């Protein structure tokens, strides 16, 4: 199953819109607390926001909180990812008037432990390249960012994380590796 998830994630990157320039995509390998790969997330910059693709397997069934965290680190116990991306100090929750930048919809895990989601996020951008000063914060900033899966669903209002519980998955968001140059 792990190979299927990895293959699907790579296909998402390969099939992404051809007009997206290098530096406008990012990827995260999502691991469980044992450090085993359980899936991936791909972030694609679009003109008005970021398209996020998530594929995972091996999780307990049911809805899980999904957030973008402010530091690109997961170990130990995923606490190195710190809190949500939230430079303006907004309150947590998609039900609020001004949710923090790290708030995402819940990830719904099927009975077999797999989940696939695609959604659009306007409160972040992939990189700082070409951005205006009032643009949303970039995922690929100086200390990076992480995507975190929580054990429980996010109620989208309770402070500080919507009652989403412990962290059961984490992936450091990084720019895709550069293509090797062809030898002549």
Tell me, yes or no, whether 183 lies in a domain.
no
Tell me, yes or no, whether 71 lies in a domain.
yes
Tell me, yes or no, whether 28 lies in a domain.
yes
Rg (the chain; Cα; Å): 16
Q: Specify whether the CB–CB gap between 45 and 125 falls below 8 A.
A: yes
Tell me, yes or no, whether 131 lies in a domain.
yes
Domain of residue 104 covers 2-174
Tell me, yes or no, whether 40 lies in a domain.
yes
User: What CATH number did the domain enclosing 80 receive?
Assistant: 2.60.40.200
The C-alpha atoms of residue 46 and residue 36 are separated, in whole angstroms, by 31
What tokens were used for 94?
A: 């998609």
Tell me, yes or no, whether 16 lies in a domain.
yes
Domain total in the chain: 1
- HEC assignment per residue over 162-183: CCCCCEEEEEEEECCCCCCCCC
Tell me, yes or no, whether 52 lies in a domain.
yes
| H or E segment and range at residue 56 | strand 49-56
pLDDT of the chain, 184 residues: tens digit per residue: 444 444 444 444 444 444 444 349 999 999 999 999 999 999 999 999 999 999 999 999 999 999 999 999 998 899 999 999 999 999 999 999 999 999 999 999 999 999 999 999 999 999 987 667 778 999 999 999 999 999 999 999 999 999 999 999 999 999 987 655 655 5
For residue 12, the model assigns a pLDDT of 44
Tell me, yes or no, whether 184 lies in a domain.
no
């Amino acid at each position: 199953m792990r190979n299927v998830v990895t293959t699907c994630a790579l296909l998402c990157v390969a099939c992404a819109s051809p007009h997206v320039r290098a530096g406008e995509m990012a990827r995260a390998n999502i691991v469980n607390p044992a450090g085993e790969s359980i899936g991936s997330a791909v972030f694609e910059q679009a003109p008005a926001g970021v398209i996020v693709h998530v594929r995972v397997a091996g999780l307990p069934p049911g809805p899980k909180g999904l957030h973008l965290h402010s530091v690109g680190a997961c170990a130990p116990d995923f606490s190195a990812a710190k809190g949500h991306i939230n430079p303006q100090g907004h309150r947590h929750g998609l039900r609020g008037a001004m949710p923090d930048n790290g708030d995402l919809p819940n990830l719904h895990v099927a009975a077999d432990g797999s989940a696939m989601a695609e959604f659009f996020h306007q409160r972040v951008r992939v990189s700082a390249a070409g951005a205006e000063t009032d643009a949303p914060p970039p995922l690929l900033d100086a200390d990076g960012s992480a995507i975190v899966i929580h054990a429980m669903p996010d109620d989208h209002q309770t402070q500080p994380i919507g009652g989403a519980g412990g962290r059961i998955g984490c992936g450091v968001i990084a720019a895709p590796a550069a293509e090797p140059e062809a030898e002549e």
